Chain A
Amino acid sequence: MALVETPPGVGHLVKPRKSGLFAEIVRHGGDYLYVAPALLVLLIVIGYPFCYTVYLSFFDTPPSSPNWYFNGIANYIDILTDQSFWSITGNTFYWTIGSTVFSVALGFGAALVVDKEFPGRGVIRGLLLIPWVISAVAAAYIWRWILHSDYGLISSVLMQFGFIQAPINFLDSVSLVMPSLIVVNIWKEFPFAMIMLLSGLQTVPEQLIRAARIDGANTFNVFLHVTLPHLKSVLLITTILLFVGNLNSFVLVYLMTGGGPADASQLWITRVYQLAFQSLQYGQASAFSVILFIVMLVLGYYYVKILTSGDARRSQ
């Protein structure tokens, strides 16, 4: 790194430019025009609502009255001491971790399989990607039909083969609802992990694999010592993106169960929606949102750190 530093003779030519941040900003004034539209959109759609949500989280907003009353951290205390909070938190992490781990594992396997050359590879790759591409609304209805309590495909098939006597009520059963939703979610998003990791696999230098082969490594060893280390950052990014996506994902659960039965599939995000649009408790919904932000922020930090570490390496 020391090698790229400014040679001593040139140093004095560069130095005078470092005359304060403001001058620097003015000097680069034109550059900001390029990013201005993107930042303006993000400011309106993300920046403003974010600040407003934080602000609103400190207010009591009774649905019956048009006035809002400042009440400090009372909303937060209400949420954290609510009896159902920890069970909803449990559901949220069950949902998020379960979906993420299996999606990444399945997607990784799929990527390894479709990375090899074989006839029909393009078609199979395309077919595997379909669930990811279709709307979550369509997916929710397709699976509600498949898991239907009376006419659902899965129950019918299991009954036909005599595994069960009566249809299984997947989405109305307190114990089966979460696993069922998670399976649907994995179905919907393992292709994303597949495509990310497939792209990563294609950057593994072939010479490296061939060299390992020549040295006598078998398929498993090549995978463990060549492929896997090479994919580390892609794997991390994919996992974080899916984790965050699952923590935020709303439509599938909302349209399939609405958080029921008896809160058995209630997640943070569906609870926020319920508080805001069914109970009309904007203050509480906002406080709950802030709790979500804090978790996100921690993840976001690592996500950006990984993404920009590649950036730093490239610009060196």
Chain B
Amino acid sequence: MSAVASKTSLAYRSRPRRRIDPWNIAGVAFMAFLLVFSVVPMLWMLSTSLKGQFAALQIPPEWIPSNPTLEQYALLLSPSSDIGPRFMRFFANSFVVSMTTTLLGVLIAIPAAYAFSRFRFPGRDFLFFVVLVRNMFPVVVFLIPLFILMKALGLVNTYGSIILTYLTFGLPLSIWLLKGFFDNIPEELERAARIDGATRFKAFWLIIMPLTSPGIIATSIYSFIGAWNEYVYAATFLNDESLLTLPVGLQRFFSEFATNWPGLMAAAFIMSVPVVVMFIVLQKYFVRALTEGAIKA
């Protein structure tokens, strides 16, 4: 409450002597530049996807297509076209893989983060280190040994192989973020619940979990997006066309028709929609989670 009060009083005080701050002008110009830089490529993708194949190759190019057509989207989404059923299949595959990865990842990360925050077992620091350095290892260099391992486990050409590998992308960030949340929740809260007769699990579920929800939402988004966008492992472990995820499908089926730019852009657009929408809707949790959980200056 007092924060609101002081803010209004500050605004009131600064109003009479408002002057133009040169830093503000620079800020607006900079923001305009950033917006153009970020958004124009995305708009160009959208614009191209609405053009006919010949219109796309026109010089000078049309910024806004004069004869916009949904032809490419219709092809991709119709069950009777050549590419349609495949594309829908890739989309569904990506969804299943990303959802499974996200759910499993959260289930694994929560207890681990909790233990790293609450318990003082021997080797805790070392194991936390192990979790954190995961992202230091490049994906590509593990392809050979992982492929051999997956083959031995009979996981090649199954979702098991990619889900298992995708789990590790989200884990370090999830564990780190959630640990930050747990660190900030006073242990007394939990202890009080346990004195009242709750089990450790019940105390966790009823007291700790609700306070951690922004962190859980944020780490779920991160895991989902990571899995949705991944290319290298999926391209290596999956061969069967019916199993491919969107990024691999896109690369395999469109790079051969490299001249069909509108089709490629339409497919890229459809692939981007779920993650962009999800992130824009939930981004505030992401910032909040980083602020509350991890970034403590």
A residues contacting B by CB (< 8 A) are 21, 24-25, 28, 31-35, 37-39, 41-42, 44-46, 48-50, 52-53, 56, 106, 109-110, 112-114, 116, 122, 124-131, 133-138, 141-143, 145-146, 150-151, 153, 156-157, 159-160, 187, 191, 195-196, 198-200, 202-204, 206, 210, 219-220, 230-234, 241, 244-245, 247-248, 250-251, 255, 269, 272-273, 276-277, 282, 285-286, 288-289, 292-293, 296-297, 299-300, 303-304, 307-308, 310-311, 313-315
B228 to chain A, nearest CB (A): 7
Evaluate contact between A37 and B125: CB separation under 8 angstroms.
no
* Known A145-B265, A297-B136; contact A133-B44, beta-carbon cutoff 8 A: no
* Known A35-B115, A134-B275, A308-B125; contact A53-B142, beta-carbon cutoff 8 A: yes
Evaluate contact between B131 and A38: CB separation under 8 angstroms.
yes
Q: Point out the residue from A112, A153, A198 that lies within 8 Å of B44, measured CB to CB.
A: A153
Q: Point out the residue from B31, B123, B142, B229 that lies within 8 Å of A136, measured CB to CB.
A: B229
Evaluate contact between B291 and A199: CB separation under 8 angstroms.
yes
What are the 10 closest A-B residue pairs judged by CB atoms, nearest first?
A34-B115, A289-B141, A199-B290, A28-B121, A135-B229, A49-B145, A248-B138, A52-B145, A49-B142, A38-B112
Q: Annotate B190-233 by CB proximity to A: 1 below 8 A, 0 otherwise.
A: 00000000000000000000000000000000000100110110
Q: Which chain B residues lie closer than 8 Å to A311 at the CB level? A: 128, 179, 183
Bound CA–CA A55/B224 (angstroms) = 34
B275 to chain A, nearest CB (A): 5
**9 contacting pairs across A/B (C-beta < 8 A):** A32-B115, A38-B131, A39-B112, A48-B149, A50-B142, A56-B144, A126-B280, A137-B251, A199-B287
Evaluate contact between A286 and B144: CB separation under 8 angstroms.
yes
Residue from the set A34, A110, A150, A244 with the largest chain B CB neighbour count within 10 Å: A34
Q: Beyond the given A44-B149, A130-B276, A196-B295, please list 6 additional residue pairs across the A-B interface where CB-CB is below 8 A.
A: A41-B168, A113-B31, A199-B290, A250-B139, A269-B138, A311-B179
* Known A34-B115, A138-B272, A156-B61; contact A282-B144, beta-carbon cutoff 8 A: yes
Evaluate contact between A25 and B229: CB separation under 8 angstroms.
no
Evaluate contact between B144 and A304: CB separation under 8 angstroms.
no
Evaluate contact between B121 and A38: CB separation under 8 angstroms.
no
Q: Point out the residue from B41, B229, B265 that lies within 8 Å of A137, measured CB to CB.
A: B229
* Known A53-B145, A151-B57; contact A42-B134, beta-carbon cutoff 8 A: yes
Chain B, range 137-158, C-beta contacts under 8 Å to A: 137-146, 148-149
Q: Which chain B residues lie closer than 8 Å to A39 at the CB level? A: 112, 127, 130-131
Evaluate contact between B168 and A46: CB separation under 8 angstroms.
yes
Bound CA–CA A219/B23 (angstroms) = 7
The verdict on B34 contacting chain A, using a C-beta distance below 8 Å, is yes
Q: Which chain B residues lie closer than 8 Å to A286 at the CB level? A: 141, 144
Chain B, range 20-64, C-beta contacts under 8 Å to A: 21, 23, 27, 30-31, 34-35, 37-39, 41-42, 44-45, 48, 56-57, 59-61
Q: Which chain A residues lie closer than 8 Å to B275 at the CB level? A: 133-135
Evaluate contact between A299 and B108: CB separation under 8 angstroms.
no
A229 to chain B, nearest CB (A): 9
A223 to chain B, nearest CB (A): 9
Chain B, range 72-124, C-beta contacts under 8 Å to A: 107-109, 111-112, 114-116, 119-123
The verdict on B250 contacting chain A, using a C-beta distance below 8 Å, is yes
* Known A45-B146, A151-B57, A200-B295; contact A187-B141, beta-carbon cutoff 8 A: no
Bound CA–CA A122/B137 (angstroms) = 34
Evaluate contact between B168 and A296: CB separation under 8 angstroms.
no
Evaluate contact between A230 and B41: CB separation under 8 angstroms.
no
B278 to chain A, nearest CB (A): 8
Q: Which chain A residues lie closer than 8 Å to B37 at the CB level? A: 187
Evaluate contact between A191 and B38: CB separation under 8 angstroms.
yes
Residue from the set A131, A220, A288 with the largest chain B CB neighbour count within 10 Å: A131
Bound CA–CA A194/B139 (angstroms) = 25
Q: Which chain A residues lie closer than 8 Å to B114 at the CB level? A: 34
Q: Which chain B residues lie closer than 8 Å to A292 at the CB level? A: 138, 141
Bound CA–CA A38/B134 (angstroms) = 12
Evaluate contact between B290 and A196: CB separation under 8 angstroms.
yes
Evaluate contact between A234 and B122: CB separation under 8 angstroms.
no
Bound CA–CA A106/B135 (angstroms) = 23
A191 to chain B, nearest CB (A): 7
The verdict on B243 contacting chain A, using a C-beta distance below 8 Å, is no
The verdict on B164 contacting chain A, using a C-beta distance below 8 Å, is yes
B143 to chain A, nearest CB (A): 7
Evaluate contact between B136 and A44: CB separation under 8 angstroms.
no
